[in-house]
Amino acid sequence: MNNEDKHWKQDFPINRGEANQVSRRDFAKLLAVVSGGMVLGNGIIAAKAFFSDDEAIGEKQKICTKNDIPVGGTKSFVLKNDTVPYILIHTEEGEFYAYEQKCTHLSCAVYYKPGTMKIECPCHNGWFDVKTGEVLQGPPPRPLKKLVVTLQGDDIFVQHPKTENV
């Protein structure tokens, strides 16, 4: 052992036998710190999701203005960089809803039936609720895919929802 090694050993007096041992107490402390960190992280994520009222994700896209669709009328559109057909509906209650214009049964185009608050699929007499997209009647197995609609002044924007069929 040379002189430099001696200095190092004096500065850091570690017993090699003890250095390889981790006491139960130290291990328990480590587990508590790691578990606490995970609990805290999950809590922050859950709280963020709970308190966030933003139900939409992705790019908000302007479709038209309120005046472009008369009450009881509709407007077909596609989103940027997409080919999926959608339909924007202005109901008799003055609300706007947007759905994928494709029936969940065999993909026929669906249409709003003015005055009924229902969306119709003429292929096999399927019907959907205009407010929720839920199936009311017929063979469609799932609700229509819905977009989130927001109004800013007279402008109407749509976005994909955080989860499907919200």
Residue (64 or 108) nearer to ligand FES, CB: 108
HEC sequence for 29-88: HHHHHHHHHHHHHHHHHHHHHHHCCCCEEEEEEEEEEHHHCCCCCEEEEECCCCCCEEEE
The answer to whether residue 114 forms part of the interface with ligand FES (CB under 6 A) is no
Distance of CA 97 to the CA centre of its chain: 17
Q: Report d(CA 6, CA 4) in Å as an integer.
A: 5
The answer to whether residue 106 forms part of the interface with ligand FES (CB under 6 A) is yes
Q: Report d(CA 99, CA 93) in Å as an integer.
A: 17
Residue (139 or 161) nearer to ligand FES, CB: 139
The answer to whether residue 135 forms part of the interface with ligand FES (CB under 6 A) is no
Residue (40 or 106) nearer to ligand FES, CB: 106
The answer to whether residue 38 forms part of the interface with ligand FES (CB under 6 A) is no
The answer to whether residue 144 forms part of the interface with ligand FES (CB under 6 A) is no
Residues that bind ligand FES (CB under 6 A): 103, 105-106, 108, 121, 123-124, 126, 138-140
